[in-house]
Amino acid sequence: MNYETLIITFAEPIRMLDDFFDAPETWGVETLKGWVDNYESTRFTPIDECRAVITSEYNMPSVREWLEYYMPIANIEEM
């Protein structure tokens, strides 16, 4: 399997970004991690307050597009 990996630095703490999911009945999840992990073969692993590693086998383009549109991102590093 060939996984894509991103290290994302958010402009705000991840715990604050979870507020975006204040309507679980709309999103089906309550956290950013939950949203990313809902994509098949995709995982969100926080590494500190504002950074996370995201890996995905084949959904990275969709996940990245959504994150760039909805989340305040300071930096994205492709691995």
pLDDT single digits (tens) 7-59: 999 999 999 999 998 887 887 899 999 999 999 999 999 999 999 999 999 99
Residue 78, both tokens: 């492709």
Residue whose token pair is 């999103």: 27
- Which string of DSSP letters, residue by residue, matches 43-77? EEEE-SSSEEEEEESS-HHHHHHHHHHHS-EEEEE
CA distance 49 to 12: 8
List residues bridging with 43 in a β-sheet.
55
Look at residue 27 in the predicted model and tell me its pLDDT. Answer: 79
Look at residue 23 in the predicted model and tell me its pLDDT. Answer: 84
CA torsion sign, 3 to 36 to 12 to 69? positive
Domain locations in the chain?
Answer: 4-78
Please say whether the structural domain 4-78 has been given the CATH code 3.30.70. Answer: yes
Look at residue 1 in the predicted model and tell me its pLDDT. Answer: 73
